[in-house]
């Protein structure tokens, strides 16, 4: 399948590009390149050819000839989403609806959107299913729901949108992020031999490895149309609903001499997610990773690259720091368009 992968220069996108190419899809990447300065290691995995462009400026002509758009290119976490919620809506909601409309006009038949389990917000003790009530707490999560609704309404015989509500991602990527719980705790354990949490670590959260997200995307692209047409899937696995303190315990056990301290503040984001639908409807899908394996992968990578505090603190590896830096230095304008 000929696939346009937006956000291909991001944390998940780099490894998803490798993964889809290895499954013999023809992949072209598109990305504005906000986070290109954060590159932690190289490999000899094949990478897609890249187009540098903002998704809000993509035209029907850019999309002609593709069978599918896999859309990752959005403001990618809650804190960046709150820098200017108006811009978040312009990119993550209006920008995505615009891109989907252009894709449909260009004859692209599948549109796979990276939604998020954060749409469930602070939900009840029961694990949330796709049809359950949602309670998004932030602009970021609200935009994910608006896209599901508005791009979902574009579904037709020749246009099949699919929405993947991913759990919180973890794992090694050349374009590493350290503003994600597992990655941050792994870095802290490795560098400081200490995990010091301000929270009590009690909230439940679902986690998933970036290659399992990539596998879910491949399964959607390769599934019969009726299995994925207009569907929403939670992406993750039942056993990867963890209390955050369990993640800290796993890491402190993997790093010899690592101490572990919990605080007493509570986190409003507390939810567990039910992943039965994706396993039933996409029989080829299963998670090959868990947090312990993903943590070992990162710790091995840290040792290979001589990972140290300066790399951990570098703005290229933390989305909020990098966007603030690009704004403050006048490299992007107030709508996150490049000024040069
Ligand atoms: N990382 C997670 O835990 C997680 C969980 C659920 C969903 N998601 C979603 O998956 C997607 C990818 O996440 P990630 O962790 O790789 O984030 P990321 O920030 O590393 O990657 C996003 C990429 O999109 C690009 N981008 C942003 N706005 C753009 C625009 N207007 N035009 C062109 N390119 C633009 C950025 O330059 C970046 O390379 C996002 O949509 C995110 O919301 C991520």
Q: Enumerate residues lining ligand 1, CB below 6 A.
A: 7, 9-13, 31-35, 54-56, 72-74, 76, 91, 95, 114, 116, 166, 168-169, 177, 180, 319
Residue 265 is predicted with a pLDDT of 83
The burial class, CB within 10 Å (0-12 / 13-18 / 19+), for 60 is middle
pLDDT of residue 304: 97
Q: Provide the pLDDT for residue 123.
A: 62
Ligand 1 atom with least separation from CA of 166: 6
Of all atoms in ligand 1, which is nearest to the CA of residue 113?
Answer: 41
Contact yes or no for 43/174 (Cβ under 8 A): yes
State the Cα–Cα distance between residues 211 and 278, nearest whole angstrom: 16
Q: Where are the domains of the chain?
A: 2-176+206-243+272-290+322-328
The CA distance from 125 to 217, in Å, is: 28
Choosing from 5, 9, 12, 273 the residue with most ligand 1 atoms within 8 A of its CB, the one to mutate for a pocket test is 12
Ligand 1 midpoint to CA 261 (Å): 31
Out of 7, 145, 317, mutate this one to test ligand 1's pocket (max ligand atoms within 8 Å of CB): namely 7
Q: Which residue has 């002609």 as its token pair?
A: 64
Q: Which residue's alpha carbon is nearest to atom 21 within ligand 1?
A: 10
Expressed in angstroms and rounded, the spacing between residue 221 Cα and the centre of ligand 1 is 19
CA 290-221-169 angle, 5° bins = 25
pLDDT of the residue at 176? 98
What is each CA distance from 192 to 134, 196, 259, 312, in whole angstroms? 38, 10, 9, 11
Residue 35 CA to ligand 1 center (angstroms) comes to 10
Best probe residue, ligand 1, of 54, 57, 73 (max atoms within 8 Å of C-beta): 73
Atom 12 of ligand 1: nearest residue by CA position: 72
Which residue's CA is the nearest one to ligand 1's atom 5?
A: 168
Nearest alpha carbon, ligand 1 atom 32:
54
pLDDT in tens, 104-156: 999 999 999 999 999 998 766 789 999 999 999 999 999 999 999 999 999 99
Q: Report the nearest atom of ligand 1 relative to the CA of 8.
A: 39
Give the pLDDT confidence score for residue 205 in this predicted structure. Answer: 93
Just give the CATH number of 2-176+206-243+272-290+322-328: 3.40.50.720
CA distances from 8 to 4, 53, 152, 167, 264 (A): 9, 11, 23, 19, 38
Pick out the chain residues at pLDDT < 70: 123-124, 268
74 CA distance to ligand 1 centroid (A)? 5
**HEC profile for the chain?**
CEEEEECCCCHHHHHHHHHHHHCCCEEEEEECCCCCCCCCCCCCCCCCEEEECCHHHCCHHHHCCCCEEEECCCCCCHHHHCCCHHHHHHHHHHHHHHHHHHHHHCCCCEEEEEEEHHHHCCCCCCCECCCCCCCCCCHHHHHHHHHHHHHHCCCECCEEEEEEEECEEECCCCCCCCCCHHHHHHHHHHHHCEEECCECCCCEEEEEEHHHHHHHHHHHHHCCHHHHCCCEEEECCHHHEEEHHHHHHHHHHHCCCCEEECCCECCCCCCCECCHHHHHHCCCCCCCCCHHHHHHHHHHHHHHHCCCHHHHHCHHHCHHHHHHHHHHCCCECCCCCECC
CB 263 within 8 A of CB 197: yes
Q: What is the spatial order of strands in the sheet that 241-243 belongs to?
A: 168-170, 204-209, 241-243
Ligand 1: nearest atom to the Cα of 336: 31
- Ligand 1 atom showing the smallest separation from residue 140 Cα: 43
Residue nearest to atom 1 of ligand 1 (CA): 169
The span from the CA of 306 to the CA of 301, in Å, is: 9
Q: Please give the distance, rounded to the nearest whole angstrom, from the Cα atom of residue 253 to the centre of ligand 1.
A: 31
The Cα–Cα gap between 110 and 128 comes to: 26
């Amino acid at each position: 399948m000929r696939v346009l992968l937006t956000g291909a220069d991001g944390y998940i996108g780099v490894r998803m590009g490798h993964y889809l190419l290895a499954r013999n899809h023809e992949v072209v990447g598109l990305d504005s390149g906000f986070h290109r300065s954060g590159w932690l290691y190289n490999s000899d995995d094949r990478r897609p050819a890249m187009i540098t462009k903002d998704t809000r400026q993509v035209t029907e002509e850019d999309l002609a000839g593709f069978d599918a758009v896999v859309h990752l290119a959005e403001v990618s976490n809650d804190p960046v989403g709150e820098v200017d919620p108006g811009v978040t809506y312009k990119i993550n909601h209006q920008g995505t609806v615009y891109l989907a409309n252009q894709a449909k006009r260009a004859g692209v038949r599948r549109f796979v959107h990276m939604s998020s389990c954060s749409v469930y917000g602070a939900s009840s003790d029961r694990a949330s299913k796709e049809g359950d009530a949602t309670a998004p707490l932030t602009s970021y999560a609200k935009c994910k729901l608006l896209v599901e609704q508005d791009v979902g309404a574009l579904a037709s015989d020749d246009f099949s949108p699919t929405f993947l509500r991913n759990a919180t991602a973890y794992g090694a990527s050349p374009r590493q992020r350290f503003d994600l719980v597992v990655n941050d705790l792994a870095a802290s354990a490795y560098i400081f031999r200490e995990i010091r949490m301000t929270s009590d670590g009690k909230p439940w959260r679902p986690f998933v490895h970036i290659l399992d997200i990539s596998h879910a995307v491949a399964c959607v692209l390769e599934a019969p149309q009726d299995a994925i047409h207009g569907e929403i899937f939670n992406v993750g696995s039942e056993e990867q609903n963890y209390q955050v303190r369990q993640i800290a315990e796993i890491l402190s056990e993997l790093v010899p001499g690592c101490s572990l301290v919990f605080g007493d503040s509570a986190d409003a984001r507390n939810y567990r997610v039910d992943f039965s639908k994706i396993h039933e409807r996409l029989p080829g899908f299963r998670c090959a990773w868990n947090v312990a394996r993903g943590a070992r992968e990162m710790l091995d990578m840290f040792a290979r690259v001589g990972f140290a505090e300066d790399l951990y603190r570098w703005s290229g590896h933390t989305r909020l720091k990098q966007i603030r830096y690009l704004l403050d230095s006048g490299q992007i304008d107030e709508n996150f368009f490049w000024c040069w």
